[in-house]
Structure 1
Amino acid sequence: MTAAVLAAAPSRPAHRDPRVLRWLGAYTASTLGDSVYHLALSWAAVRGGTPAEAGLVMAVSAVPRALLMLGGGVVADRFGPRRVVIASDGARCLVVLALAALVLVTAPALWVLAAVALVFGVLDALFLPAVGALPPRLAARDQLARVQGMRGLGQRAGAVLGAPLGGLAVALGGPGGAFAAAGALFALSLPLLLGLRLNPLPADAEARTGKNTALGDLADGLRYLRGHRILGPLMIVIALSDLGFVGPLNVGLALLADQRGWGASGMGWVLAGFGTGAAASSLLLGVKGRVPRAGAVLGPTMVLGAVSIGALAHAPLLPAAVLLALSVGLLAGLSGALAGALLQTECAPAYLGRVSAVASLCSLGLAPLSFPLTGAAVGLWGPGPVFVVSAAVCALSGVYALAVPALRHAELPRG
């Protein structure tokens, strides 16, 4: 068969590709394990200390995750994302199972829980860039948007099912039982990951791997990102959207629900609306597989999502807030999946780990720094102005995406 015929041959749909499904199963199991672990850790910390001490334990893992994320991207590119994902997930499994055994025989001191959280943060800094670099090594470029949709469904499943599963494990076996359940879920991902076979890197990318020092590799990756006409602006879009989005959803929503008198159940309904919208957008992308003129769609969905965020704080009744949250989830889920698909299709394979690390750093390292600022601002001025300012930051990301011609005209590959 000639090269021209091979190039014209349609690629296998991602939802029918055994390698992609194996990766998705491993990713979903790992996401579930992560949710159960965090619930068990918070429960053990609350039982072992004051609320302030428990909050400190939960925050410890963010420090190494933020400081080491870029280094994790270098490791993923040097040693291959599959190896790094297997090693980091295996280490998380062993650490959590060891903590489960300890909790079952004694009540660990808070410093022990904080040490585990610290180790987990280091492992997350390795795991997150590597798992983001895997899809382009498994699926054809024209299937990466569909893979992003499938990944979004896995994330939603972990978030929606992880909390009740962790609560059930705590109810049946205490924190020790919940840690054991988290370890079992991490262990479940390992045989699926071990069975993965990745597409080889292009010859030129393979030749560049590991030729510099680690710092040289990092500087090379940042230069590549800064000079790329689409990826550079895309990172600014991701950073701005996350900075405006995560504060209201993670901190402001709880304060809004308390002020409106909706209570914890009302906040749960609003979060359920958001989760439903995000799952629907992921399902749409997973089924459709491609959105025409992805760059042109990215900006408007961010702007419309920002309008919904700003309106959420002014919803007088709970049903209206749930509908607005559904809109936020649908639009933010679609724009986030499109940004992820553009990142993976535009990035050269040799730089995937480092570019994924920068994106993860924006989302999970820098954006959470807005949490205390959001809480303090809501305390001073109320949720309305804070949500509007946050929405303006989100809208700015969409306007910027439309203002950069290369990003506005970016397209996902055709199937």
Structure 2
Amino acid sequence: MTFSYSYAARPRTPQPTPARRPLPASYLVWLAAATVSQLGDVVLGFALGWLAAEHGGAAAGLVLAAGSLPSVLLLLLGGAIADRFGARRVMIAGDAVMLLMSVALALAVLHAGTPLWLLLTASVLRGVVSAFYRPSAGSMPRRLVADAQLTRALALRQGAGQTVILLGAPLAGVLVAAGGLGAVAVLDAGTLLVVLVVLLLVRARYATPASDRSMPVWRAALDGVRVVRHTPGLVVALTLVAGAAAFLLPTVSLVLPLLARDAGWSAVATGVVAGAQGAGIIVVTAVVARRGGARRPGATASGGLAVAALGQAGLVAAAVPPGGEGAAVAAAVLVGAGSGLFTAHLAPVVLGSAPRTHLARVQALVGLVQALAVTLTIAGIGALAAATSPQVAGGACALGLLGCAAAGGVAFRRLTLEPVESAQ
């Protein structure tokens, strides 16, 4: 895939351009069902971690690791399976397995309560299914919408996902308090049934050739790396994704709590600041979903990282004087807005650049580089904060993000919205 400038003549009729036409109903129905299912998954994940904490900190860490480890180790295999047998088939199988697991979990809770072995089993199965499901789900937008509509479609998906994250934890807390893990499992089963029915009805609108079935599966999984290396723009894009994950994703999970404790903010105030970042993402992605993306997606994505870095610096500054929670909320909105700009404009470049035979495998690599980048840097950021101060650690994240923004601005300075496919 190569990128080139393209100048379209002004239309003589008021017909909308392909990029501005309404998104297909099939995509909107699938996205609605997938969002409902994601809400059930977020609630289940929260409940498993919360109940595991009753068995002690080591048990809670074991349950969380049991879910996250297979979802990372099996990602490339999941992408290869989806490209070989079809993303829709893989998602139907995954939803069916998780539906049975949720029903079985609800029944087991009635008879055995919430012993550690049950929580571990549920977490492992959830992680394994996620490894096969995520690459397939990530590739679905390009199977359901025209390439010119990818920016709006992915922005809508990002905004919906962020909304689920904001609502999932409070809903999980209410359900766990009211009905325990059994109620959560029943809710998850209901959401899975919804998306399973939708997947049985929705068909791909754009043909996607199957990958070479003569190639061993393990080799097909690694073939995604070859495709990324030989597709212009993808190596740089995935490098930028890794950089953003390394310096941006730890903001709410690590940097903000450290800054808040150092500044003496309450848990409620810190939660409001974290929610402000999510609100910034939702607002930006809603605008992109409605109006479309910028003409220069690479420059806009890099600019988004710069905006997020400015917000991170604002968080550091707000945590220095006492009573800086109001300024921190504004800074967090900037972090979210920058994050939304980055993802809403770079995600279509990655998905739109991938050859149709490797859609799921490229999405698997995106998830893998994000997970590896966060794993490698979050411990270092924590160690830096312990050795110096949370302000130094937050400043390092802001500087790292600015470096990524500068590198992306140079690498993508000629990238425009319309990709032109070339032979593999």
Residues 248, 374 of structure 1: 8 Å contact kept: no
**Partners in 2 of 1:167 and 1:223 — Cα distance?**
44
Residues 73, 353 of structure 1: 8 Å contact kept: yes
Residues 58, 117 of structure 1: 8 Å contact kept: yes
Offset at residue 171 of structure 1 (A)? 2.3
Greater mean deviation of Cα atoms: 13-22 or 282-291: 13-22
Where does 1:145-164 land on structure 2 (aligned, <5 Å)? 145-164=151-170
* Aligned match of 1:297: 300
**Partners in 2 of 1:14 and 1:28 — Cα distance?**
22
Residues 14, 147 of structure 1: 8 Å contact kept: no
Structure 1 residue corresponding to 2:43, chosen from 30, 36, 39: 36
Gaps of 5+ in 2: 1-14, 420-424
Structure 2 residue corresponding to 1:413, chosen from 404, 411, 418: 418
The residue identity in structure 1 corresponding to 2:417 is L
* Aligned match of 2:198: 192
Offset at residue 220 of structure 1 (A)? 2.5
Structure 1 residue corresponding to 2:371, chosen from 339, 364, 373: 364
The residue identity in structure 2 corresponding to 1:409 is R
Structure 2 residue corresponding to 1:77, chosen from 74, 83, 98: 83
Offset at residue 198 of structure 1 (A)? 0.3
Partner deviation per Cα, 1:118-138 (whole Å, 9 max, x = no partner):
121111111111101111110
- Partner SS for 2:416: coil
Offset at residue 13 of structure 1 (A)? 5.3
Residues 35, 159 of structure 1: 8 Å contact kept: yes
**Partners in 1 of 2:46 and 2:22 — Cα distance?**
31
Structure 1 residue corresponding to 2:104, chosen from 98, 104, 108: 98
Gaps of 5+ in 1: 1-7
- Partner SS for 1:408: coil
The residue identity in structure 2 corresponding to 1:412 is L
Where does 1:3-402 land on structure 2 (aligned, <5 Å)? 11=18, 15-47=22-54, 49-201=55-207, 205-206=209-210, 208-315=211-318, 316=321, 317-402=324-409
The residue identity in structure 1 corresponding to 2:133 is F
Return closer, same or farther for 1:52/1:219 CA change in 2, 3 Å cut-off. Answer: closer
Partner deviation per Cα, 1:19-39 (whole Å, 9 max, x = no partner):
111111122012101111012
**Partners in 2 of 1:285 and 1:34 — Cα distance?**
26
Residues 238, 397 of structure 1: 8 Å contact kept: no
Offset at residue 335 of structure 1 (A)? 0.5
What root-mean-square deviation, in Å, do the aligned CA atoms of Structure 1 and Structure 2 show? Answer: 2.0
The residue identity in structure 2 corresponding to 1:413 is E
Return closer, same or farther for 1:16/1:295 CA change in 2, 3 Å cut-off. Answer: closer
Offset at residue 361 of structure 1 (A)? 1.1
**Partners in 2 of 1:244 and 1:338 — Cα distance?**
18
Greater mean deviation of Cα atoms: 387-396 or 127-136: 387-396
Return closer, same or farther for 1:23/1:52 CA change in 2, 3 Å cut-off. Answer: same
* Aligned match of 2:6: none
* Aligned match of 1:3: none
Residues 66, 366 of structure 1: 8 Å contact kept: no
Offset at residue 99 of structure 1 (A)? 1.5
- Partner SS for 1:210: coil
- Partner SS for 2:417: coil
Residues 77, 352 of structure 1: 8 Å contact kept: yes
The TM-score normalised by the length of structure 1 is: 0.91
**Partners in 2 of 1:369 and 1:115 — Cα distance?**
27
Residues 43, 175 of structure 1: 8 Å contact kept: no
Partner deviation per Cα, 1:162-200 (whole Å, 9 max, x = no partner):
122212211221222122212222222111122111034
Offset at residue 380 of structure 1 (A)? 2.5
Offset at residue 14 of structure 1 (A)? 6.6
The residue identity in structure 2 corresponding to 1:105 is H
**Partners in 1 of 2:169 and 2:309 — Cα distance?**
27
The residue identity in structure 2 corresponding to 1:174 is G
Offset at residue 340 of structure 1 (A)? 0.6
- Partner SS for 1:108: coil
**Partners in 2 of 1:264 and 1:14 — Cα distance?**
44
**Partners in 2 of 1:9 and 1:327 — Cα distance?**
32
Return closer, same or farther for 1:371/1:115 CA change in 2, 3 Å cut-off. Answer: farther
Return closer, same or farther for 1:263/1:9 CA change in 2, 3 Å cut-off. Answer: closer
Offset at residue 369 of structure 1 (A)? 4.5
Return closer, same or farther for 1:117/1:163 CA change in 2, 3 Å cut-off. Answer: same
- Partner SS for 1:313: helix
- Partner SS for 2:198: helix
**Partners in 2 of 1:75 and 1:14 — Cα distance?**
33
Partner deviation per Cα, 1:362-408 (whole Å, 9 max, x = no partner):
2235424433433333222221111111222222222221222xx33
Offset at residue 59 of structure 1 (A)? 2.3
Offset at residue 310 of structure 1 (A)? 2.8
- Higher percent of residues as helix: 1
The TM-score normalised by the length of structure 2 is: 0.89
Greater mean deviation of Cα atoms: 120-129 or 218-227: 218-227
**Partners in 1 of 2:267 and 2:326 — Cα distance?**
15
**Partners in 2 of 1:372 and 1:50 — Cα distance?**
22
Residues 310, 334 of structure 2: 8 Å contact kept: no
Offset at residue 9 of structure 1 (A)? 9.2
